Amino acid sequence: MNTELFYLDHAAATPIDPRVLAAMQPYFTDDFYNPSSPYSPAVNVRRAYEDAKHTLAQIIGAKPDEIVITAGATESINLAFNSIGGHVVVPAIEHHAVLAVAKLHNHTIVKVDERGLVSPDSIKDAIRPDTRLVSVAIANNELGTTQPLRDIATIVKNERAVRLERGDNTPIYFHTDASQGVGQIDINVARLGIDMLTLNSGKIYGPKQVGLLWTASFVKLTPLIVGGGQERGLRSGTENVAGTVGFAKALSLAAEHRKFESERLTDLRDGLQAKLTTAFPDAIFSGHHKHRLGGHLHISFPRLDGERLVFTLENRGVLVATGSACAANKGTRSHVLTAIGLAPEIADGSLRLTLGHLSTDENIQEAGDIIVEEVQREYARTKS
């Protein structure tokens, strides 16, 4: 097996940035104190924790007391949905974490087009008098397609205003899971027009199992976890100081380098796409050609077995995915590809290639060459 690894699955996991790890290190060793303890070393740890929350809030244009630190995006999503309840509206291509919790409630799943784009009108049509929550991810984790959140936000706000005008106090909120968009898209909550935001540290070169839920001040949450009353009683348990400090550092770096990194990844992605298109004119690229994350490339090779390709490429040192890590773990066909209408013989030959910090012009060129060789070998094998 090739000893050099070419990592093309940044959408699944990212390595922790050395600068993030350095920021976290003291809270594993010297500054290990419980932030709720009364003595001065613990008070300093509490201050570091609150400073980290302030940084997180400042970057997204919020207030620290509007943020709840969670153990990742899944908990954040569950806290949002289970607090609001009622009828919920979600697109068919949402992450499993969103779809699973939506199905615990009265729900409507909205169709998307063949590019994975959600129509604001379809969201509007799905809203009912008892709808309390609309949730649309800022970007799809498999296709990279980015969504028109501002247009959808306007629809939700108009519905809220209409209800109030007729004396109906049924609340309606707009939530977005921005786990896949951070570092490439502006996530300022005011500019997005949203009421609730989920972020995931593990997708931006921060520690895994750390995330947050931001809610506007008028959104009322109900705790999933009770105990000592931490996080304003919304998420009890000793605070993850090291994780939160690392999250703040990772988000700061992502925000600082967002424009440059998005452009860099887009250039690398487009070069890889051009290489694969030249080699395989019949290959099918999914996702919106314009409204797409710079680091995402979804390609299907008709009549090939995508799972087999994953293993043959791994033998050559190229690490890719067929879809989201959750779907791959279950061994099921991607619900995203089904939702955009890909035929089974096309969907089953799909690869998701996602670029990031570990991607360079040199290693993307090398990985592209290996992908071409292995796909050619598979086509030859299926014809023999």
pTM: 0.93
Catalytic-labelled residue, pool 99, 224, 279, 326 = 326
Total domain count for the chain? 2
Please report which confidence band the pLDDT of residue 243 belongs to, taking 50, 70 and 90 as the band edges: very high
Is the dihedral angle over the CA atoms 27, 33, 39, 45 positive or is it negative? positive
Residues 140 and 74 in one domain: yes
Q: Is 326 a catalytic residue?
A: yes
The CATH number for 41's domain is 3.40.640.10
Over residues 359-374, the mean pLDDT reads: 97
Residues 35 and 179 in one domain: yes
Domain boundary at 222, 240, 256, which? 256
Residues 143 and 292 in one domain: no
- Residue 202: inside a domain: yes
User: What is the secondary structure of 119-139 as a DSSP string?
Assistant: PHHHHHHH--TTEEEEE--SB
Query: What pLDDT does residue 363 have?
Result: 96
Neighbour tally for 56: CB within 10 Å: 23
- Residue 1: inside a domain: no
Over residues 211-217, the mean pLDDT reads: 97
Q: Is the pLDDT of residue 33 over 90?
A: yes
Q: Is the pLDDT of residue 328 over 50?
A: no
Q: What are phi and psi of 330, to 5 degrees?
A: -90, -10
Query: What pLDDT does residue 234 have?
Result: 87
The CATH number for 339's domain is 3.90.1150.10
- Residue 228: inside a domain: yes
Residues 132 and 272 in one domain: no
| 171: exposed, middle or buried (Cβ count in 10 Å: 0-12, 13-18, 19+) | middle
Domain boundary at 209, 229, 256, which? 256
100-117, pLDDT tens digit by residue?
999 999 999 999 999 999
268-308, pLDDT tens digit by residue?
999 999 999 999 999 999 999 999 999 999 999 999 999 99
- Residue 233: inside a domain: yes
Residues 174 and 309 in one domain: no
Residues 193 and 310 in one domain: no
Over residues 34-51, the mean pLDDT reads: 96
Domain enclosing residue 41, as ranges:
18-256
- Residue 240: inside a domain: yes
Domain boundary at 237, 256, 275, which? 256
Q: What are phi and psi of 16, to 5 degrees?
A: -70, 135
Spatial distance between the Cα atoms of 314 and 312, rounded to a whole number of angstroms: 5
Residues 111 and 240 in one domain: yes
Please report which confidence band the pLDDT of residue 78 belongs to, taking 50, 70 and 90 as the band edges: very high
Residues 124 and 266 in one domain: no
Residues 232 and 273 in one domain: no
- Residue 153: inside a domain: yes
Least confident of 74-78, 278-282, 329-333, 354-358: 329-333
Residues 116 and 216 in one domain: yes
- Residue 306: inside a domain: yes
108-166, pLDDT tens digit by residue?
999 999 999 999 999 999 999 999 999 999 999 999 999 999 999 999 999 999 999 99
Residues 193 and 338 in one domain: no
Query: What pLDDT does residue 331 have?
Result: 57
User: What is the secondary structure of 250-264 as a DSSP string?
Assistant: HHHHHHHTHHHHHHH
